[in-house]
Amino acid sequence: MIVDNIAKIPQLNLPWIESPFFDQLLAQSNLDEETKKKVKYFAAHGYLIIDSEIPNFDRIAEQIINQLESHYIDPHRIQDAWKFNDDVRTIATAPKVLSILKTLYQREPIPFQTLNFPQGTEQSTHSDTIHFHCVPAGFMCGVWVALEDIDVNNGPLHYYPGSHKLPIFDLNNLGIKGSYQQHPYEYYSVYENFIESLISHYQLEKIDLCIRKGQALIWSANLLHGGSKILDPTRSRHSQVTHYYFDNCLYYTPLLSDPFLKRISMKEITNIATGKEVKHYYNGQEIKL
């Protein structure tokens, strides 16, 4: 008799990489061995470095750098340049990236925000789950694409391998009601200090992302990351981040929410790939905002 293992594995409403049954699910999947290795690596470490495989990448990178130059009102970053720049949209919707994300999460990826940086951000270490979260949790990730070669001197992105397995923390864990803040970052320094304590408590290993132009880092929602110090202030650090959700979720901003006070800052998002508004779902049922 053939034993049907597939039917015996509980299907949970969470990313398969976080399922207690992940090893079995992976073993049964029809992915090739190379891909299985990558998914396993991502599940274990919370990140993956890939080649974005975007055709004519050098030209696209150069065009983005030149065309965005006059648009930096905030000198450090420009949000959602995909709305007026097709090259930014090309990177956000790169087929190779979308296909890897679909494999890693087993759901349709939804690129919903782009950030372009001309220099290192020196941004303090954080988990993106404080900014972008969803129900069920975990269906979010970031992809950081190098528009030029990156090394330790031009303020690389840094990350802490394995930190995605720590609990997901929000302001309520720190005794703060996010939805009652005067402005979104009123208590952000409390969160930043907490993350620093967490890193030193666990003595987490920090890695600077030194990658070549055209390469990309995918990080899972809860992986701690930030911008390292710019050691050479004369250097640029052109890069693009795209944040992705996955379909069939409720999307919200924990930093501004107190769900159990029924004060939830739901996110209205547009799928960069289709230009359409993204619907929210709870267990397959559409939820109107």
The residues pairing with 80 across neighbouring beta strands, listed in sequence order, are none
Say whether residue 88 binds ligand AKG (CB under 6 A). no
Alpha carbon dihedral 281, 284, 285, 289, in 10-degree steps, equals: 0
Nearer to ligand AKG, 122 or 205 (CB): 122
Q: Answer whether 150's CB lies under 8 Å from 236's CB.
A: no
Angle at which helices 95-105 and 33-45 cross, to 10°: 70
Please identify, using beta-carbon distances, which residue of 146 and 249 lies nearer to ligand AKG.
146
Using DSSP's 3-state secondary structure scheme, residue 198 falls into helix
- What's the Rg (C-alpha) of the chain? 19
Strand ranges (DSSP E) for the chain?
47-51, 78-79, 109-117, 133-135, 140-146, 157-159, 207-208, 215-220, 225-227, 239-246, 250-252, 280-282, 285-287
Find the part of the chain contacting Fe ion (CB under 5 A) among 60-68, 126-134, 154-162, 261-269: 126-134
Taking CB under 6 A as the rule, does residue 135 contact ligand AKG? Answer: no
Answer yes or no whether residue 254 interacts with ligand AKG by CB under 6 A.
Answer: no
Residue 41 corresponds to which tokens in the numbers above?
């690596």
Rule CB under 5 A: say whether 87 interacts with Fe ion. no
The residue to which tokens 């899972």 are assigned: 220
Contacting residue, 15, 142, 178, 214, with ligand AKG by CB under 6 A = 142
Among 87, 128, 170, 258, binds Fe ion (CB under 5 A): 128
Contact between 115 and ligand AKG by CB under 6 A: the answer reads yes
Q: How many residues bind ligand AKG (CB under 6 A)?
A: 11
C-beta of 157: minimal distance to Fe ion in Å?
A: 9
Residue closest to ligand AKG when measured from CB atoms: 227
Nearer CB in complex with Fe ion: 87/128: 128
Query: Smallest distance, Å, CB 225 to Fe ion?
Result: 6
**How many of the chain's residues bind Fe ion (CB under 5 A)?**
1
- Considering only residues 148 to 177 of the shown chain, the ones binding ligand AKG according to CB under 6 A are 157
Alpha carbon distance 221, 137 (integer Å): 9
Contacting residues toward ligand AKG, per CB under 6 A: 115, 117, 121, 123, 128, 142, 157, 225, 227, 239, 241
Contacting residues toward Fe ion, per CB under 5 A: 128
